[in-house]
Amino acid sequence: MTPRDPADWSTLRLKDRITPDVRVLFVGINPGVRSAVTGHHFAGFSNRFWKLLFESGLVPEAIGHQDDGRLPEFGYGITNLIARPSPGINDLRPIEYVEGWKILERKIRRYRPELVALIGVTLYRAILPLLRSPKPLPKNHPVELGAQSERIHGARIFVLPNPSGRNANFTYAEMLEAFRMLAMRTRAR
């Protein structure tokens, strides 16, 4: 399969890595092309998700995208709001967010994580109107990383920066600090 030809990867879907004892459910917007082709979450060459997990202390050893099936060993699960892979989020349609939310909400209700870690401010902004009905946040309105006041079926929401190499909104140090805040919160339980 080649990442250049959408016919090769556009129908691929990643396997959720969620077990009944999940404490933290990591949620991405949707898989990138390389993730779809490899069959593993956050497999992009410039993605720092796995490095951040280890350096923040969320996992006790360095693991990579090929180890995503091990996340339940540490009490974590991983899924995406939208299952369809794409080269970027600009390729996603608004209806996909709404449909994806319905599926994600069912997963949260079924597995009952303590925390839902939304990976990316964009993801939080996208589902915020679906959580409560006010107007969405203006595009330039700042979103604080970390714990949020909203809950989904009792699960607390925690916003992490998107670890993609394309994310120029946060430095690596800021990303690491957010992941460390999550690690501290999970240890406090």
Q: Is 30 a catalytic residue?
A: yes
* DSSP, residue by residue, 77-117: EEEES--S--SSGGG--HHHHHHHHHHHHHHHHHH--SEEE
Among 30, 47, 80, 162, the active-site one is 30
Please name the residue that has the structure tokens 């016919």: 7
Q: Is 40 a catalytic residue?
A: no
Among 40, 41, 47, 80, the active-site one is 41
Burial class of residue 81 in the structure, from the number of CB atoms within 10 Å of its CB (0-12 exposed, 13-18 middle, 19+ buried) = buried
Pairing of strands 155-160, 146-152: antiparallel
Residues that are catalytic: 30, 41
